[in-house]
């Protein structure tokens, strides 16, 4: 019971970003157990991960439509997982501090889904990929959506990298350019998905679009209720004050804010037309 209590307490006290990271870590470890199982029983042709990876082949994708979402929780190695979770932890916490728990799920999940769609569509329309057999895994598209949502909201926000402060917009644009120029060099599908995630994050903020919300969908089937859109009106808030508060977060952390600053930031993040 003590372990169960600790798990329940962790779930209650953890924020949404921490929960997403834990889920990704758990789903990274689980396939290793199945790998041991298939090895012991000589099931060489069985691939557990294969059920959850997204594929560019439309016929294969139709047979496992859930993979448009589940691929985002499978990683190819420790460093693949580590860098994605590091970026999610940093940028996700900043976004959550501004907009609250719920939005981080919506942005992250939308990034994964639409990043996956960008990948599938690209591999079926561009001649260079014709006849190519391709699979993709990883949560990078979701992380890029989070980064670009945050950047679109406050592009001039500065964060500290090593010994210098860098504006968020420079980081986002640099990562986007790297993805674009690396498409011909290998892992084309991954880079295309990153771009799809970036566009998704930008559009969600720019056009007040909430998009696909997994938790609202579940709620719809169970209680037949729909979630409301989270609209943001930049004309009714003091953007200069918001930038000052965000700069303070990047320098000293969210806990350094006064109660008034936290309330103002939360109200600005949830401002409706």
Confirm whether 224 is domain-assigned: no
Domain annotation covers residue 90: yes
C-alpha dihedral, 255 to 260 to 262 to 267, nearest 10°: 180
Whether 249 is covered by a domain: the verdict is no
CA separation for the pair 244, 158 (Å, rounded):
10
Q: How many residues are recorded in the chain?
A: 273
Residues 140, 144, 148, CA angle at the centre, nearest 5°? 175
Q: How far apart are CA 67 and CA 134, in angstroms?
A: 13
In a domain, 55, yes or no: yes
For residue 230, being part of any structural domain is answered with no
- On the 0-12 / 13-18 / 19+ scale of CB atoms within 10 A, 174 is exposed
Distances (CA, A) of 233 to 148, 152, 215, 269: 18, 13, 24, 9
CA distances from 89 to 22, 24, 138 (A): 11, 12, 16
pLDDT of residue 243: 74
Q: What is the CATH number of the domain that holds 84?
A: 1.20.1540.10
Q: Which structure tokens are listed for 17?
A: 């970003």
Residue 244 lies inside a defined structural domain of this protein: no
Q: Which of 107, 96, 75, 130 is nearest to 16 (CA)?
A: 96
Buried b (16+ CB within 10 A) or exposed e, 42-69: eeeeeebbeebbbbbeeeebeebeebbb
Please tell me the distance from the alpha carbon of residue 98 to that of residue 52, in angstroms, as a whole number. 32
Does residue 233 form part of some domain? no
Residue 74: the pLDDT is 94
Beta-bridge partners for 266: none
The Cα 250–Cα 46 span in angstroms is: 47
In this structure, the strands spanning 135-136 and 158-161 are unpaired
Q: Digits of tens for pLDDT over the chain (273 positions)?
A: 577 777 778 777 889 999 999 999 999 999 999 989 888 988 877 888 999 999 999 999 999 999 999 999 999 899 999 999 999 999 999 998 888 888 899 999 999 999 999 999 999 999 999 988 899 999 999 999 999 999 999 898 888 877 888 899 999 999 999 999 999 998 999 999 999 999 999 999 888 755 555 444 444 444 444 444 444 444 455 667 777 777 777 666 666 778 787 777 767 765 543
What single DSSP character describes residue 229?
Answer: P
238 lies in a domain? no
pLDDT value for 209: 59
Contact of 148 with 198, CB cutoff 8 Å: yes
Residue with tokens 């508060």: 245
Strand ranges for 22-151 from DSSP E: 54-55, 135-136
Range of the domain at 66: 2-207
What single-letter DSSP state applies at residue 198? H
| pTM given for the model | 0.78
User: What's the total number of domains in the chain?
Assistant: 1
């Amino acid at each position: 019971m003590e372990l169960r209590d600790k798990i329940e307490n962790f779930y209650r006290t953890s924020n949404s970003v921490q929960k997403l990271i834990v889920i990704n870590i758990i789903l990274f470890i689980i396939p290793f157990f199945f790998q041991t199982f298939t090895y012991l029983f000589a099931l060489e042709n069985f691939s557990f991960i294969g059920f959850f990876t997204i594929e560019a082949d439309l016929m294969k994708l139709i047979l496992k439509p859930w993979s448009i979402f589940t691929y985002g929780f499978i990683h190819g190695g420790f460093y693949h997982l580590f860098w994605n979770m590091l970026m999610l932890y940093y940028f996700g916490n900043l976004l959550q501090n501004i907009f609250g728990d719920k939005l981080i799920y919506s942005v992250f999940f939308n990034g994964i889904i639409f990043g996956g769609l960008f990948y599938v569509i690209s591999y079926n329309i561009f001649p260079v990929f014709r006849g190519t057999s391709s699979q993709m895994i990883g949560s990078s598209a979701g992380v890029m959506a989070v980064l670009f949502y945050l950047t679109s909201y406050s592009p001039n926000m500065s964060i500290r990298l090593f010994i210098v402060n860098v504006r968020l917009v420079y980081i986002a644009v640099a990562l986007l350019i790297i993805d674009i120029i690396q498409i011909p060099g290998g892992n084309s599908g991954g880079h295309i998905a990153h771009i799809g995630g970036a566009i998704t994050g930008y559009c969600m903020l720019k056009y007040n679009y909430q998009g696909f919300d997994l938790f609202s969908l579940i709620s719809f089937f169970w209680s037949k209720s729909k979630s409301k859109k989270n609209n943001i009106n930049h004309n009714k808030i003091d953007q200069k004050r918001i930038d000052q508060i965000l700069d303070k977060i990047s320098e000293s952390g969210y806990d350094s804010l006064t109660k008034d600053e936290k309330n103002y930031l939360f109200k600005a993040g949830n401002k409706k037309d």
